[in-house]
Amino acid sequence: MMIDRLNIWQKIGLYIATFIFLLFILMPFIEMFRVSLRPMSHLMTADFTWWSEDFSWQAYRDMWVTVPLLGRYIFNSVFIALCVTVATMVVVIPGAYAYARLEFPFKSLSLGGFLAVNMFTGAVLLIPLYRVLRQLSLLNTYWAMIIPGVAFLIPTGIWLLRSYLEKIPRELEEAAYVDGASRLYTLRRVVIPLAVPGMIVVSTSVFIGAYAQQFLFAITFNNVRELQPLPAGLFEFIGYQDTTWNEMMAAALTGVLPVLVFFLFLQKYLVAGLTAGAVKE
């Protein structure tokens, strides 16, 4: 299209601007990688330099000794996020269906109530939450990090999935009813299969929410090392005089790599999810 045509200077300008923008976004990762390649003694003694001759992968071997539970932390992070995602979806699917399809008293009021939950983060409610979890004897278990996570992701999940379900033609369901199918059967056999793309999108964004924000609940409700997710596990080693920064950076990058690669494959769904959520309202 003519309208999209850019002259060579506009193109160069846009590339430079995009480069600067992405540099801001990626700089911490580039720097973490650079640090992870350098021996600690050189990092601490020399002035800042861009490039040096001493690059090596040594930190990627040493980190397993310095952080003996690193493998466990990486597993915990993914495991907790997966559990949160599954539990959230189990609760969100029927809820979103009710809001998309059924009429009932207090419908918009209760939906508004759900959305108001967004105003609280776990941090505001930590004190009583701590007591609830202690009463249920869930402190220092995986549950202490899973259950609060689920509660705070339900509202957005319902909101997002509802907009997907509303796009499924009502006639299909009515046809099933006419054929004598029960409501639950229709939900299971007609609605859910049609909603699969939407559910992938919503569970992906729930997973991101659960994976990105495990730190607070982990440092507050859990002090069993073996159960800590990656950020909380690494945080223990950071901020002291003798922090081996190169190994910490190596561990951090190694820890997020599996999930990052996984998201590269799912990025199509991520953007689709945003489109549904954002453009709708």
Token digits of residue 174: 């009515």
**Is residue 174 at the binding interface for other proteins, with CB under 8 A as the rule?**
yes
Shortest distance, position 200 Cβ to other proteins, whole Å:
15
| Nearest CA among 126, 124, 84 for reference residue 217 | 126
Binding letters toward other proteins, positions 186-225, x by CB under 8 A: ----------------------x--xxxxxx---x-----
Residues 215, 231: Cα–Cα separation, whole Å? 6
Q: Give, as ranges, the residues between 247 and 276 that touch other proteins (CB under 8 A).
A: 248-249, 252, 255-256, 259-260, 263-264, 267, 270-271, 274-275
**Is residue 230 at the binding interface for other proteins, with CB under 8 A as the rule?**
yes
| Nearest CA among 230, 229, 217 for reference residue 122 | 217
Tell how far CA 164 is from the center of its chain. 20
**Is residue 185 at the binding interface for other proteins, with CB under 8 A as the rule?**
no
> Which region among 8-16, 57-65, 137-145, 189-197 touches other proteins (by CB under 8 A)?
8-16
Residues in the chain: 281
Shortest distance, position 142 Cβ to other proteins, whole Å:
16
65 Cβ contact list (under 8 Å, min separation 6):
none
Residues 18, 20: Cα–Cα separation, whole Å? 5
Token digits of residue 276: 């549904």
Residues 237, 232: Cα–Cα separation, whole Å? 9
| Nearest CA among 254, 256, 250 for reference residue 35 | 250
**Is residue 169 at the binding interface for other proteins, with CB under 8 A as the rule?**
no
Q: Binder to other proteins among 9, 65, 128, 241 (CB under 8 A)?
A: 128
Q: Binder to other proteins among 59, 139, 158, 206 (CB under 8 A)?
A: 158
Q: Binder to other proteins among 105, 109, 169, 241 (CB under 8 A)?
A: 105
**Is residue 75 at the binding interface for other proteins, with CB under 8 A as the rule?**
no
Shortest distance, position 274 Cβ to other proteins, whole Å:
4
**Is residue 146 at the binding interface for other proteins, with CB under 8 A as the rule?**
no
Shortest distance, position 104 Cβ to other proteins, whole Å:
4
149 Cβ contact list (under 8 Å, min separation 6):
80, 84, 209, 210, 213, 214, 217
**Is residue 28 at the binding interface for other proteins, with CB under 8 A as the rule?**
yes
Q: Which is nearer to other proteins, 34 or 64 (CB)?
A: 34
Contacts 24+ apart (CB under 8 A), 22-29: 29/253
Tell how far CA 50 is from the center of its chain. 32
> Which region among 51-59, 60-68, 191-199, 231-239 touches other proteins (by CB under 8 A)?
231-239
**Is residue 69 at the binding interface for other proteins, with CB under 8 A as the rule?**
no
